[in-house]
């Protein structure tokens, strides 16, 4: 039986829904309520059907949200073309066929059940954090069955889902006109512009969301390193650190993550400051790791995100770290210089690292677009991230301006605005990194950002020696300056052969 909350009924007593959403966890429930607020009728369904009843009787009470207790009932509520959005994860048992779908395959399980119930031209939207390769596969497979598939990034957490997330849809472009009115109504807005637009075909939407999450890892790590330097190096109190972040949030660093860091630092409960009682082991859901893997696959030096992932891995070695702290020696971690002056260097270093992180992220987007023939709008992507999402910041407006000015910009660091910003900040980054090394406080992300900057601005790197080494021991060949494209091999020892191995790129 289909249950409804308020609203009018039609088609023989069944409310006609604009869209159905499967998955009533926090994100799903809040997206449904967001859609309802914008005048759309949503049919809610969950594999554990008791959640449907509970949702209708509590969070959705008094709304136009309707509920269904089977997929067939849900499909029967929908206008044509039918639009079904999935927000599902975890293991899934399809009893009718005795199939067990492992983590990440719940989407496939629901697709398998939905397809027989749908008609050509109907739309399935995956709003979870799926791997972009899966989205590519699903888009192509479903197109052959006449179903339009969309893989959409959804960012902003619980609050974003409820009041305006950043949405990054990609997949079958024929679906976009049918989901655009809903998506652009419910998403965040910046200066009246929606933080949602069509990203590109097949896996483009989920790839952009993956890079977004990777940049999120980087942003969080460099902020944590700044906090570590303030706490252990400058010996600042939590109230003092909160004040610093509040000041930074009124500078070029104005962003959601700086803002919540300020609030976290000053948060107290009945036992005092909460932050110092939280165990220093960080978790992850995999999207940062996916970004690092994709960077290796495409040969793009996304070093800051990679270090951020490894930093979380290192934090997980809590017992080993505690043991090592009692055995391994290091310098005095307390900074002896001018604290106010160092804080300004730290602010600039953080800004420089943030620029590097985004530059690397957009490098990865550009390379993937080239490989997959995606026509990505880089300025539009920056706009999508300006509101609703975790990495939203004023800074993204400068990225949009850079790509508006030059849509073919090969690297953000070559834009006048960012080149001048790095010119003003890189010396502070050197001061911070060298100081951190001297006093023994780890700053892997800040350090790798500076190393990338120096490597990128260096016209001649020592890779010529590396190529010679590879040719010496493996006959992998090399190119001579002025003879690019011609690969040669040298018999370095005089007793080697003339046969060379196949060439390959980085």
Q: Report the binding-site residues for substrate.
A: 129, 155-157, 212-213, 217, 285, 312, 470, 476
Phi, psi torsion values for 273, nearest 5 degrees: -65, 130
At CA 29, angle to CA 28 and CA 34, rounded to 5?
A: 95
Report the C-alpha gap between 353 and 360 in whole angstroms. Answer: 10
> Cβ atoms within 10 A of the Cβ of 506, count?
7
Contact 255, 396 (CB under 8 A): no
Sheet holding 3-4, edge to edge: 3-4, 66-67, 42-45, 19-22, 83-86, 123-126, 148-155, 166-171, 200-201
Contact 122, 148 (CB under 8 A): yes
Contact 308, 445 (CB under 8 A): yes
Query: Crossing angle of helices 204-228/303-315, nearest 10°?
Result: 60
Phi, psi torsion values for 151, nearest 5 degrees: -105, 115
- Per residue in 336-352, is it b (16+ CB within 10 Å) or e — as a string? eeeeeebbebbbbbbbb
Of residues 288, 154, 167, the one with CA closest to residue 218: 288
At CA 156, angle to CA 16 and CA 45, rounded to 5?
A: 30
Catalytic sites, residue numbers: 209, 216
Query: Crossing angle of helices 176-186/26-37, nearest 10°?
Result: 90
List CB contacts of 250: < 8 A, sequence separation 6 or more: none
Paired sense of beta strands 42-45 and 92-94, if any: unpaired
Is the backbone peptide bond immediately before 81 cis, with ω within 30 degrees of 0? Answer: yes
Which amino acids are annotated as binding site, given as ranges? Answer: 129, 155-157, 212-213, 217, 285, 312, 470, 476
């Amino acid at each position: 039986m289909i249950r409804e909350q308020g609203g009018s009924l039609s088609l023989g007593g069944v409310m006609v829904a604009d869209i159905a959403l499967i998955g009533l966890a926090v994100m799903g429930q809040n997206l449904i309520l967001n859609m309802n607020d914008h005048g759309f009728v949503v049919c809610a369904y969950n594999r554990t059907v008791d959640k449907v009843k509970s949702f209708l009787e509590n969070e959705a009470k008094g709304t136009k949200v309707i509920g269904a207790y089977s997929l067939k009932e849900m499909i029967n509520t929908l206008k044509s073309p039918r639009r079904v959005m999935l927000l599902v994860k975890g293991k899934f048992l399809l009893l009718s066929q005795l199939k067990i779908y492992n983590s990440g395959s719940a989407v496939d399980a629901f697709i398998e059940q939905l397809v027989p119930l749908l008609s050509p031209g109907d739309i399935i939207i995956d709003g979870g954090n799926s791997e972009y390769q899966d989205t590519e596969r699903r888009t192509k497979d479903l197109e052959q069955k006449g179903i339009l598939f969309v893989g959409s990034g959804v960012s902003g957490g619980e609050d974003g889902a409820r009041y305006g997330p950043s949405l990054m849809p990609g997949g079958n472009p024929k679906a976009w006109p049918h989901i655009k009115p809903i998506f652009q109504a419910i998403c965040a807005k910046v200066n009246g512009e929606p933080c949602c637009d069509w990203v590109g075909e097949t896996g483009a939407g989920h790839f952009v969301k993956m890079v977004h999450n990777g940049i999120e890892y980087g942003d969080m790590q460099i902020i944590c390193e700044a906090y570590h330097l303030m706490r252990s190096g400058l010996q600042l109190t939590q109230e003092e650190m909160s004040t610093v972040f509040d000041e930074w949030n009124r500078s070029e660093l104005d962003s959601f993550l700086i803002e919540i860091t300020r609030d976290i630092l000053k948060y107290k409960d009945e036992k005092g400051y909460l932050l110092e009682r939280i165990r220093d082991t960080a978790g992850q859901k995999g999207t940062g790791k996916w970004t690092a893997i994709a960077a290796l696959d495409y040969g793009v030096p996304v070093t800051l995100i990679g270090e951020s992932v490894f930093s979380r891995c290192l934090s997980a070695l809590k017992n080993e770290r505690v043991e090592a702290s009692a055995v391994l020696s290091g310098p005095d971690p307390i900074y002896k210089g001018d604290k106010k002056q160092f804080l300004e260097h730290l602010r600039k270093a953080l800004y420089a690292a943030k620029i590097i992180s985004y530059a690397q992220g957009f490098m990865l987007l550009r390379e993937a677009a080239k490989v997959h023939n995606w026509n990505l709008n880089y300025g539009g992507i920056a706009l999508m991230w300006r509101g609703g999402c975790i990495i939203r910041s004023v800074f993204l407006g400068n990225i949009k301006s850079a790509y508006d000015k030059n849509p073919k910009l090969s690297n953000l660091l070559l834009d006048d605005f960012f080149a001048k910003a790095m010119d003003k900040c890189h010396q502070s980054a050197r001061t911070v990194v060298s100081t951190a090394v001297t006093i023994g406080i780890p700053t892997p992300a800040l350090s790798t950002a500076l190393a990338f900057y120096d490597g990128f601005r260096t016209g001649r790197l020592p890779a010529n020696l590396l190529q010679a080494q590879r040719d010496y021991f493996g006959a992998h060949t090399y190119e001579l300056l002025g003879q690019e494209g011609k690969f040669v091999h040298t018999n370095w020892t005089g007793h080697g052969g003339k046969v060379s191995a196949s060439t390959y790129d980085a």
